[in-house]
C-alpha cells in the first residue's frame, strides 16, 4: 500500500471515529460501537474506502500488546500466582460448558460435527480487550475484581494457545513433536529469562537514567515489543510475551510512570483494532447467517455471566464481585477470530463457518459493551455518574 494511502487510512479512521463517537455520545451510546460502525461503513463491504484490512489489523494488534504489557506492570508476581491457583478450576470448567453449549447450537443448525466443534472452541473465551478496556484503571490496579478478571483472562489466553496448537497439530501431520511442544517448553524459559534480564539489566538502566523520561519511554517500548517478538518466535502469542515483560517490571518503582506514559499509545492502536473488526465484517453474509449467529451470541451473552457468577461465588467470591465480573466477561473473544482463521486455512471449516464465528463475535462485542457501559463504571460511559478512569 502506498505511503499516502496509509496516511489516508489514519485520517479516515480517526476523523471518522471522532464524528461517529460524537454522535454516539449525544445518543448515550458506547464509543466502542462507534469505532466498529465506522469500520463497517469504510470497509470493503461498506463504501469501500478501505480495501487492505490486513495491514490495519497488523498495526492495530500493537494495541493489544501494549494492553497486556501495561496489565502485567499492575500485578505483583506473588499476587498473580495466588490468583492463578484460585481461578484455574473456574476457567477450565466454564470453558468446557461454553464450548459444549455453543457447539451444540451450531450442530442443531445443521453444521457438521467438525465445524460445530470449532464454533464451540471459538466461543469458549472472553474478550481481553472489552474486559480490560471497559474496566476503570483504579479498579484494574487496586481492586480485587480487577485482579480476578485479569487472572481469568490470562488463564483463558493460555488455554487459547493450547487450542490453537491443537488445531495446528490436527491439520499439520508433518509437524514434529518438538515443533508442537516448543511453545509449552518456551513459556517457563522466557519467563525466567525475562525476570533475570529485567532485574540485572533493565532496572539498573532505568535507575541510572531515571531523570530522562524519553529514555524510560523508549526502553519500556523496546522491552515490551522485544519480549513479545521472542514469545512469538517460540510459538507463543505476542500478548503472552508482552504480559511477561510487564510483570517482570511490576516491582520497579517507576512502573506507574511507564503505565501512565503508554496509555495514550495503547488507546491509539485499540481504536484501530475496533475499526478493523468492523471493516472485516462481510455484510453480504449477514442475511444467511444472522439467525444461527444471533442464537449463539444470545447463548454466550446469557450463559457466560451466569456461569462465571455461580462458579466465582462457589469459590468464595462476594456475590457483587462475582456478578459484575461475570457480566464484564460475558462476550466472545478476539481469539475466536484467530481460531476461525487458522481452522479455515487448515481446511477444517468452510468460509461460511468462519463468517459465522465473525458475525457472532461482533454481535457479542456490540451488545456486551453496550450493556456494560450503561450499567457499570467505565472510562467511556456516556453518563457522568458512571464515567470513571
Whether residue 232 lies inside any domain: the answer is: yes
Q: 34-69 burial by CB neighbour count: b if 16+ within 10 A, else e?
A: bbbbbbbbbbbbbeeebeebeebbebbbbbbbbbbb
Q: What pLDDT score was predicted for residue 283?
A: 79
DSSP secondary structure code for residue 201 in this structure = I
Whether residue 286 lies inside any domain: the answer is: no
Alpha carbon distance 326, 126 (integer Å): 10
User: For all residues of the chain together, what is the average pLDDT?
Assistant: 82
Summarised one tens digit per residue, pLDDT across range 337-356 is 878 877 887 788 888 998 89
Q: What pLDDT score was predicted for residue 374?
A: 86
Summarised one tens digit per residue, pLDDT across range 261-274 is 887 887 888 788 88
* CATH classification at residue 345: 1.20.1530.20
Summarised one tens digit per residue, pLDDT across range 85-143 is 667 888 889 999 999 999 999 999 999 999 999 999 999 999 887 887 788 866 554 46
Domain containing residue 344: 59-270+298-373
Whether residue 80 lies inside any domain: the answer is: yes
Other residues' Cβ atoms within 10 Å of the Cβ of residue 31: 22
Summarised one tens digit per residue, pLDDT across range 220-263 is 899 999 999 998 888 777 877 888 888 888 777 777 778 778 87
Q: What pLDDT score was predicted for residue 4?
A: 45
Whether residue 23 lies inside any domain: the answer is: no
Whether residue 302 lies inside any domain: the answer is: yes
Whether residue 41 lies inside any domain: the answer is: no
Q: Does residue 291 have a pLDDT over 90? A: yes
Q: Please give the tally of structural domains in the chain.
A: 1
Whether residue 51 lies inside any domain: the answer is: no
Whether residue 18 lies inside any domain: the answer is: no
pTM: 0.75
Q: What pLDDT score was predicted for residue 176?
A: 63
Amino acid at each position: 500500500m502506498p505511503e499516502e494511502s496509509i496516511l489516508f487510512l489514519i485520517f479516515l479512521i480517526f476523523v471518522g471515529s471522532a464524528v461517529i463517537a460524537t454522535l454516539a455520545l449525544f445518543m448515550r451510546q458506547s464509543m466502542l460501537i462507534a469505532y466498529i460502525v465506522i469500520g463497517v461503513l469504510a470497509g470493503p463491504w461498506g463504501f469501500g474506502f478501505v480495501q487492505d484490512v490486513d495491514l490495519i489489523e497488523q498495526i492495530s494488534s500493537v494495541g493489544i500488546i501494549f494492553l497486556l504489557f501495561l496489565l502485567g506492570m499492575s500485578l505483583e508476581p506473588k499476587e498473580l500466582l495466588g490468583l492463578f491457583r484460585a481461578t484455574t478450576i473456574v476457567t477450565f470448567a466454564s470453558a468446557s460448558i461454553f464450548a459444549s453449549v455453543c457447539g451444540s447450537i451450531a450442530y442443531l443448525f445443521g453444521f457438521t460435527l467438525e465445524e460445530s466443534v470449532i464454533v464451540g472452541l471459538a466461543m469458549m473465551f472472553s474478550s481481553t480487550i472489552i474486559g480490560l478496556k471497559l474496566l476503570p484503571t483504579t479498579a484494574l490496579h487496586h481492586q480485587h475484581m480487577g485482579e480476578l478478571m485479569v487472572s481469568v483472562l490470562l488463564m483463558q489466553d493460555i488455554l487459547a494457545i493450547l487450542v490453537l496448537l491443537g488445531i495446528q497439530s490436527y491439520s499439520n501431520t508433518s509437524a514434529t513433536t518438538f515443533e508442537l511442544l516448543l511453545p509449552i517448553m518456551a513459556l517457563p524459559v522466557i519467563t525466567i529469562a525475562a525476570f533475570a534480564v529485567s532485574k540485572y539489566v533493565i532496572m539498573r538502566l532505568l535507575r541510572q537514567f531515571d531523570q530522562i523520561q524519553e529514555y524510560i519511554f523508549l526502553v519500556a517500548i523496546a522491552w515490551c515489543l522485544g519480549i513479545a517478538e521472542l514469545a512469538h518466535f517460540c510459538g507463543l502469542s505476542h500478548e503472552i510475551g508482552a504480559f511477561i515483560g510487564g510483570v517482570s517490571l511490576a516491582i520497579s518503582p517507576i512502573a506507574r510512570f511507564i503505565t501512565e506514559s503508554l496509555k495514550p499509545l495503547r488507546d491509539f492502536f485499540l481504536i484501530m483494532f475496533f475499526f478493523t473488526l468492523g471493516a472485516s465484517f462481510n455484510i453480504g453474509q449477514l442475511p444467511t447467517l444472522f439467525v444461527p449467529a444471533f442464537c449463539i451470541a444470545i447463548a454466550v451473552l446469557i450463559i457466560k455471566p451466569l456461569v462465571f457468577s455461580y462458579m466465582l461465588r462457589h469459590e468464595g467470591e462476594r456475590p457483587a464481585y462475582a456478578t459484575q465480573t461475570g457480566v464484564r466477561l460475558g462476550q466472545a473473544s478476539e481469539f475466536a477470530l484467530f481460531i476461525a482463521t487458522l481452522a479455515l486455512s487448515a481446511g477444517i471449516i468452510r468460509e461460511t463457518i468462519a463468517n459465522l464465528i465473525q458475525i457472532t463475535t461482533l454481535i457479542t462485542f456490540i451488545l456486551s459493551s453496550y450493556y456494560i457501559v450503561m450499567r457499570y463504571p467505565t472510562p467511556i460511559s456516556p453518563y457522568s455518574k458512571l464515567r470513571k478512569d
